Structure 1
């Protein structure tokens, strides 16, 4: 067993981990970033091929260095991966990969991060593992009896994989709408949602959503009434692919089915055949490495003040969504919460 001492361990080398690394480097801390992926890019190398950002490149920058412009609309995932790769090199971030963290434990004044034959003893730990590795699969009657294929958003790559099939896409968010838009070009596609989908206005993109999230955070911090965040505007950004699907008339969503049958789905006595069901039902925070600390509340989250865990003040959570900072699950928004987290580390206390 090899044990290494450092000030801070960052778990996760995606956008949140890179933002944390930038501010840790600027503050002069000893730190290491542990990433379980073999190459840079976080979750972005694993998304479907056509996925694009919701904003222009200038509104998707990590701290310190803008994302290079993309000349043709909003940048694709491959452009994000190239940017993250160059960002690591530009700031010489101390990233070790692939390193899979299996647990974080208390040890006196320190936290111990375990990963195979290596352990890191640190005064502080920043967990920045995101959500992509924790897809959420809802439980519905008949799911085990369904004889077709069941996939999640993480499994989707391209519409041609579904050519000629009867496909059901489940979910009411951005991913579901984009998958319906694409898969419907190659297969008979049915969209089902638990509530009617809420489309944003055509001129609302990531820039507007980030501004609204910032205004909400400022209002709450000032003790003013909650004006509602991005969710108050709708759930689905009308990217070009979704607008094109709307023009084709394929964005009609049916209510959620009651159950799955061996060869399809059913609403009461109404049965529809299906070959493939794609569950675009979102993700949960990837926090299994924190189980030894026993910090989760009943809702599955860890209670925080800002980004600091209330039941373990040596631990910070970064980039998991609004519960760890407004817009912190976005490339641009995570920089603000990363800066606040590093400023609060209070090393040596």
Structure 2
């Protein structure tokens, strides 16, 4: 066997018997080519120039040749795959590298690529992003760390204020609604936008059924009607004489067998179920409970009967007086004053 160079060499062989030293002919030459161990190359594909926490990046491992099975290592974790692409979700700063293996041979590890996560600012709205006029709203710009730098606030793509990470809007108006974003001083990355919706605070209307005179023992239904709002689920708060008496998911408040104690001024307020919004309080509606209809009819009948009796007595007395006066004023003729015949 001849020496082997760094690149390639010709190799031949022959046999020799130990017993008599007889040698065979030299074999034909075989060229042995020794290639340098390939080194994997790792590339990182991202949609933007910065990698933000929680984003998914695509890692590609490129090894010369075919038939490789790839080993990925990011931080302390290793994963094998037949695919040359590997997707990783970035949660913190970490170093990644790869290599390819086939049969018992492996390439060299690639150079490590460090994935440095950048924290993208995030805007949150408290108590919620849909509010009514007059509410107080707090905008919070979460930058993931304390920077000590100025926070810029934008509304509908126009910078509105330079301040701190918390921005409070008091007594909001409809015009305060819009798309809000924030950014950190000397950084180009803006947060995703958050829409703030401000609606006029609705005012309920209370309807009473029956809407006429209510008598003791009847059933009365009060309905709290709230219109012109995007709230889909309300809780209804009922008040009597400014004191809370009932809360339910139904807009109807039913009073069975009313009595005089139910007489009073009723109003309602809507509260968003699972939210923070309240409506105005409705105007008050007065509920007056009278005697029962039967008693009312009896009393009315008695009064009517007494009235008829009184009128009858009055007319009889008047008739008697007329007759008496007529009898007293009639002319009478005396015989003493009759004319004499001559």
Q: Which bracket does the TM-score occupy, shorter chain normalised?
A: under 0.3
When normalised by structure 2's length, the TM-score is 0.20
Q: Which has the higher strand share?
A: 2
When normalised by structure 1's length, the TM-score is 0.19
Considering Cα pairs closer than 8 Å and 6+ residues apart, tell me whether 1 or 2 has the greater RCO: 1
Q: Which has the higher helix share?
A: 1
